[in-house]
Structure 1
Amino acid sequence: MSANKIKTFLLFNCIIPASFVIFTICFMPIEQVFQFDPSDEGIELIKATLHLDGFALYTQVWNDQPPLFTFILASWLDWFGKSIYSARLLTLSFSTILIWSFCQTLRIYLGNLPAIIGTLLLITSCNFLRLSVSVMIDLPSLAMVMLSIYTLTLYKQNFTQKSSIFFIIISGALLAASLQIKLYTAFITPLIIFDLFLFHRNKNPQLRRNLIFDAILWLTAFASVFIIIGMLCNSLTYEQLLQAHLNNNVKTAFPAGNSLKLAFSFLLQDFDYLLLAILATIVIFKNQAWEKSFPVLWIIIGFIALINHRPVWYHHYLLISIPLTWLATYGLTLSFSFFQQPKWYYKLKLVNLKEITVSGLAAGFVIFSILVTPIKLGVIIFENHRYIEQTQEHIQFVNILLKQKASTKWVFTNCPMYAFYSGLSVPPEIAVLSRKRIESKNITPKQIIAILDTYHPEQVLLCRSQTLQNYLNSYLNENYLKTYGNNLGTHYLLQETPLKPLRMKNDR
């Protein structure tokens, strides 16, 4: 191997991933911030903690998400300690995998320099750094998707070699792993099959026969790994994994207009990337360069999936931002011929529209992107400062829980992050007491009261859920003493007298 190849190998396989990790640890206040997400971080952490304590997912711990990340997180916490810093480093590890595989994929499609620039664009895209250190399942799931796409790209690159068959198998297995972390990446499956079709369509008839074989092989690997993980983790449950997301109550609780509004806002959050992506898409269709159309199809189908999903959250933006950055990088390469001209900066003045070239337009968009990048980083710094300021208020509740820890076996809360920090357990049935579950009535007032009657939690901490507060007001007044409250929530302590069950209106 030549010296240049060694340097290139080290750059893309060691220096770039390591630089991303170091930059993120230095730039993001991983230890100082109590929570980057008000709900999902705590839910993932408490599920992993309950699993370590011997509670089984789906049968004892109610869970509306696939199990793989919970099992990985539980093992990670067991090995490296039950700390928020340790847990966030796990997410950062997944993010590094995503960055590495994204960069390697761009190298194959666009070249070394565009791959480096595109990776920087992804890192600075909206909420990417925040999600890179949040203990949530969205980014790990998409890391497996990007790794699956990269191995599929390696298959196409090494198509004539016998070893390429292993890339097909690995690609299918990785996408199955993605779906066993979060099901929202399922729409990538038909995209990959279609991409295989595009790859084979221009081959000679003998090679085209391999399309069916490759598609069947990929789907077999995908289905096998998905089913095996599901069987081992007891996660092949329709009621919790699918019905909890698709029933009519969810659609009623979260109107379609909200999903539509947020999905459209995703297209504007990295507006500079959108401009470059639109230009790239036009060039792809004009030149009929269908081999480069994968990110275009990803954005279109991902957007359609989002506007039909209930509810849409800010972290779903990753479904759009990754292919958007991919396309923006392609759009950026269109500017290279402009910048290679001598004294190109003299040609940036406004001219007649008829004189504008694709290369010149791309150059203008690139300069615009460079100018707004410091603003994006400034917004991240501002948000980090806000998270750190809020941490002190959160720690107040942790300290309150810790005062009674010696006499507390269970704490009832819809904010399990407090339970994780204080080392307390929540009843497994309410490990996932999310806004979605409450507002869609996936858990009823009667069921909640039954949980309280069963576990007699010594402490109750309710956080900013008026619906849940209304459910429990009478019960808490009967059996608990209010000790503290602020804008974040309210803390209650169990009275010494025996519990007095509250009869619900629908009790008979």
Structure 2
Amino acid sequence: MSANKLKIFLLFNFLIPASFFIFTIYFMPIEQVFQFDSSDEGIELIKTSLYSDGFAMYTQIWNDQPPLSTVILASWFRLFGKSIYSARLLTLTYSTILVWSFCQTLRIHLGKIPAIIGTLLLIISCNFLRLSVSVMIGLQSLAMVMLSIFTLSLYQQNFDKEKSKIFIIISGGLLGISLQIKLFTAFLVPLIIFELLQFNFKKRCQGQSKWSIFFDAILWLTAFSSVFIMIGVFCNSLTYEQLLKSHLDNNVKTAFPIGNSLTLVLSFLLQDFDYLLLAILAIIIIFQKKQWEKSFPIIWLVTGYIVLINHRPVWYHHYLLLSIPLTWLATHGLTLSFDFFQQRRWYSRFKPSNFKKVTVSGLAAGFVIFSIFVTPIKLGVIILENHKYIEQSQENIQFVNIMLKYKKSTKWVFTDCPIYAFYSGLRVPPEIAVLSNIRIESKSITPKQIISVFETYRPEQVLLCKSKIIRNYLNSYIDEHYLKTYENHLGTHYLLKETQDLSRS
């Protein structure tokens, strides 16, 4: 390997991912923030904690998500200790994989310089850094998607070489792993198959046999299905009732108004408006020049947008489904400006008199300059949000201290904010570990089921934070059996009357 190739290898495989990892640890308050998300972090942490203690998913732990993230996090805890800092470092590791594979994919499709710039654009895109350190499964699933797409790009780059089919098998397997982390990437399966068919159709015109067009797609689909089913069988996760019905049931659709979802999805593309301008320009040029081999991120962006418009509910972290292809296209649009910036005294061309003879390259350059100006604003917003999370964390700790005060006499805690139980090292009944917004708002968990949990486990402590529905279910029962010990704007803490008597004695 020549010295130049070695430098490029080290830059893309070590320096860029390592720099992102170190920068994020330094820039994001991973240790200081109590929780980055209102509920998902707590759900993932307490679910993993119960699984580590020997409770089985889907039979004992009610769980509406695939199992792989929980299994991996439990193993991570055994290696590095059970703490939120440790869990966030695992999420950051997934994010580093996503950044690395995204950068490598751009390098294959657009070149080295655009890959570096595009990676920076992804890192500072809306909520990316926050999601890179939040114990949530969406980014983890997309990291495997991006790795799958990168592997597929390697196949396309080396299709005529011996043993190149191994890349197809690996790519399919990685997509299977992605879906066993979170199912929201399922819409990408037909897109990747279409990409393979389109690529092979082009190669068939160059002499490949007729059946080879379909062989690669079948091989990819076989690898994907095999990995997905094997993990599902091993983890007992092939359950329609919890994994699918809990999200697709009509009660979920009626519980979350379509207007709210539409508003949020429409706002997604405005969050990185500078990227949208560059992406639109790239799309126009791709269609104009009929560069269909570059159409994959367009199809991903459009399909993802259609899926989200028709999905309920939509959360802020769903934006990752759009921000990755949007950044990809924005990077393509950015490359259109290179000719303009290579001209001597290019800055002198930004005059009102020149606007009538603006070129595509000049327009792209204008969008790039706009993006440069708004970048400090984006970073400033992230810094302000970090300060807000740190300030809120002081109030959260009050509840943890109260729960720790009664820990010795506590076996079970009932709470709709399970992150407090995780910090306190206490268990929640496995049936309500995943007391998610979807489960509560759709009323798929009934008052009878909740009261049954109380009668079975008799939790010594109760902490109610967010859900008026759960409070309404429990008002009379709690008044009869529990005493209020502390209340603020974040929630209310109760203690079982017998536990109160024991603590006094």
Check whether TM > 0.5.
Answer: yes
Q: Where in structure 1 are there 5+ consecutive unaligned residues?
A: 499-508
Whole-Å separation in 1 of the counterparts to 2:200 and 2:363: 34
Alignment-mate amino acid for residue 175 of structure 2: L
Alignment of 1:284 with 2:280, yes or no, is no
User: Which residue number in structure 1 is paired with residue 8 of structure 2?
Assistant: 8
Alignment of 1:103 with 2:103, yes or no, is yes
Whole-Å separation in 2 of the counterparts to 1:162 and 1:209: 19
Whole-Å separation in 1 of the counterparts to 2:209 and 2:8: 33
Corresponding residue SS for 2:10:
helix
Whole-Å separation in 2 of the counterparts to 1:190 and 1:205: 25
Moved more, 466-475 or 120-129: 466-475
Q: What is the aligned-residue RMSD (CA, Å)?
A: 1.0
Corresponding residue SS for 1:18:
helix
Alignment-mate amino acid for residue 42 of structure 1: G
Whole-Å separation in 2 of the counterparts to 1:64 and 1:350: 57
Contact 2:409/2:499, CA 8 A, preserved across alignment: no
Note closer, same or farther for the CA distance 1:340–1:352 as it changes in structure 2 (3 Å cut).
closer
Note closer, same or farther for the CA distance 1:145–1:253 as it changes in structure 2 (3 Å cut).
same
Whole-Å separation in 1 of the counterparts to 2:115 and 2:276: 18
Alignment of 1:468 with 2:470, yes or no, is yes
User: Which residue number in structure 1 is paired with residue 443 of structure 2?
Assistant: 441
User: Which residue number in structure 1 is paired with residue 39 of structure 2?
Assistant: 39
Whole-Å separation in 1 of the counterparts to 2:156 and 2:446: 51
Whole-Å separation in 2 of the counterparts to 1:437 and 1:78: 30
User: Which residue number in structure 2 is paired with residue 370 of structure 1?
Assistant: 372
User: Which residue number in structure 2 is paired with residue 400 of structure 1?
Assistant: 402
Alignment-mate amino acid for residue 190 of structure 2: P
Alignment of 1:65 with 2:65, yes or no, is yes
Corresponding residue SS for 1:206:
coil
Alignment-mate amino acid for residue 396 of structure 2: H
Deviations 1:272-327 (A, max 9, x none): 00000000000000001011111100010000110111100000000000000000
Corresponding residue SS for 2:463:
strand
Contact 1:147/1:171, CA 8 A, preserved across alignment: yes
User: Which residue number in structure 1 is paired with residue 157 of structure 2?
Assistant: 157
Q: Which runs of 4+ in 1 moved over 4 A?
A: none
User: Which residue number in structure 2 is paired with residue 143 of structure 1?
Assistant: 143
Deviations 1:112-148 (A, max 9, x none): 0000000000000000000000000000000000000
Whole-Å separation in 1 of the counterparts to 2:399 and 2:352: 58
Whole-Å separation in 2 of the counterparts to 1:377 and 1:210: 48
Corresponding residue SS for 1:496:
helix
Note closer, same or farther for the CA distance 1:134–1:431 as it changes in structure 2 (3 Å cut).
same
Compute the displacement of 1:206 (Å). 2.5
Whole-Å separation in 2 of the counterparts to 1:497 and 1:420: 21
Moved more, 77-86 or 375-384: 77-86
Whole-Å separation in 1 of the counterparts to 2:452 and 2:100: 48
User: Which residue number in structure 2 is paired with residue 459 of structure 1?
Assistant: 461
User: Which residue number in structure 2 is paired with residue 133 of structure 1?
Assistant: 133
Contact 1:200/1:208, CA 8 A, preserved across alignment: no
Picking from 277, 283, 296, the partner of 1:294 is 296
Whole-Å separation in 2 of the counterparts to 1:157 and 1:442: 48
Whole-Å separation in 2 of the counterparts to 1:346 and 1:114: 24
Whole-Å separation in 2 of the counterparts to 1:40 and 1:469: 20
User: Which residue number in structure 1 is paired with residue 503 of structure 2?
Assistant: none
Alignment of 1:93 with 2:93, yes or no, is yes
Whole-Å separation in 1 of the counterparts to 2:489 and 2:159: 59
Map of 1:265-414 to 2, 5 A cutoff?
Answer: 265-351=267-353, 353-414=355-416
User: Which residue number in structure 1 is paired with residue 482 of structure 2?
Assistant: 480
Note closer, same or farther for the CA distance 1:71–1:351 as it changes in structure 2 (3 Å cut).
farther
Compute the displacement of 1:350 (Å). 2.8
Whole-Å separation in 2 of the counterparts to 1:435 and 1:410: 22
Compute the displacement of 1:496 (Å). 1.6
Alignment of 1:185 with 2:185, yes or no, is yes
Picking from 216, 221, 224, the partner of 1:222 is 224
TM-score, normalised to structure 1, is 0.97
Alignment of 1:199 with 2:211, yes or no, is no
Alignment-mate amino acid for residue 319 of structure 1: L
Whole-Å separation in 1 of the counterparts to 2:120 and 2:247: 34
Whole-Å separation in 2 of the counterparts to 1:17 and 1:349: 40
Whole-Å separation in 2 of the counterparts to 1:86 and 1:168: 33
Contact 1:21/1:96, CA 8 A, preserved across alignment: yes
Picking from 209, 212, 215, the partner of 1:210 is 212
Whole-Å separation in 2 of the counterparts to 1:279 and 1:351: 22
Whole-Å separation in 2 of the counterparts to 1:254 and 1:10: 48
Contact 2:117/2:331, CA 8 A, preserved across alignment: yes
Note closer, same or farther for the CA distance 1:351–1:291 as it changes in structure 2 (3 Å cut).
farther
Moved more, 107-116 or 198-207: 198-207
Alignment: residue pair count: 498
Contact 2:144/2:175, CA 8 A, preserved across alignment: yes
Compute the displacement of 1:348 (Å). 1.5
User: How high is the sequence identity, in percent, across the aligned residues?
Assistant: 75
Deviations 1:156-180 (A, max 9, x none): 0000012111000000000000000
Compute the displacement of 1:208 (Å). 4.8
Note closer, same or farther for the CA distance 1:207–1:18 as it changes in structure 2 (3 Å cut).
farther
Whole-Å separation in 1 of the counterparts to 2:353 and 2:449: 68
Compute the displacement of 1:354 (Å). 3.8
Note closer, same or farther for the CA distance 1:497–1:285 as it changes in structure 2 (3 Å cut).
closer
